[in-house]
Structure 1
Amino acid sequence: MSKLGDVAVKVRSKNAGPFWLTIDVFCGDPDTYLRVCRAVTSARIAQLFGLGPDVVDRYEMASLNVLKLSFPRPSIQGTRQDRDMHGASFAALVAEMDV
């Protein structure tokens, strides 16, 4: 098995406002995109971050070869409990997923 970070062109995460995060997986071609879409399910993302699968929003953009996933932040941006003000470190966890 390969890691998502090895097959995708880029995996990035960022804030989608103070209450949500978004993860973008950029794939270089349609075959990789289909592989990623099959392997990276909402349930797997929910499990990785300790969420219910019903709170993960999924957007498949085949014309761009991009998979986007959004979900609530574990803590509100800027609060004392927030360890990642910009939400950038979440991509590293997703990039380690097997695909």
Structure 2
Amino acid sequence: MTMTTIAQLCSLVRSKNAGPFVLTFDLMFTNQANYERVRRTRPITRALLAQLYRQKEEDITLVYHDQARAIKASFPRPVFQGELRDSDCYGGQQYVPLMSISVPE
């Protein structure tokens, strides 16, 4: 079975704030075939995101956007934007764990 990573199938993987209390992640695919591969195999789940980001599964929103060939996920920031313990004010560095998720053929 051939395994490929999310990084290899996407043209853009990013994270950012959706206000001071929520992080959002966008995964945009290079073509329809790559998007359909991920949609069919579902390597990205609420359970996986909960594990990776230490969140409650019920707090995670995960949406597949067919028209945009994209996946969007959002959940509460572990530390509110601008708090003393906030090491990523804009949420732009949080996407990295998603890049190495394996996607089966």
- The within-5 A match list for 1:1-99 is 1-37=3-39, 38-99=42-103
What CA distance in whole angstroms lies between the structure 2 residues aligned with 1:26 and 1:34?
12
Which has the larger Rg? 2
What CA distance in whole angstroms lies between the structure 1 residues aligned with 2:60 and 2:37?
19
TM-score (norm 2): 0.87
Structure 2 counterpart SS, 1:79: coil
TM-score (norm 1): 0.92
Letter in 2 for 1:33: Y
Aligned residues: 99
Segments of 4+ in structure 1 off by > 2 A?
34-37
Q: Give per-residue Cα distances to partners, 1:68-87, cap 9 Å, x unaligned.
A: 00001110000011110000
Segments of structure 1 that go 5 or more residues without pairing to the other structure are none
- Once the 2 structures are TM-superposed, how far is the Cα of residue 29 of structure 1 from its aligned partner? 2.0
Letter in 2 for 1:67: I
Letter in 1 for 2:37: R
Q: Give per-residue Cα distances to partners, 1:18-56, cap 9 Å, x unaligned.
A: 000000000122221133231111111111001111111
What CA distance in whole angstroms lies between the structure 2 residues aligned with 1:10 and 1:96?
13
Between the aligned residues of both structures, percent identity stands at 34
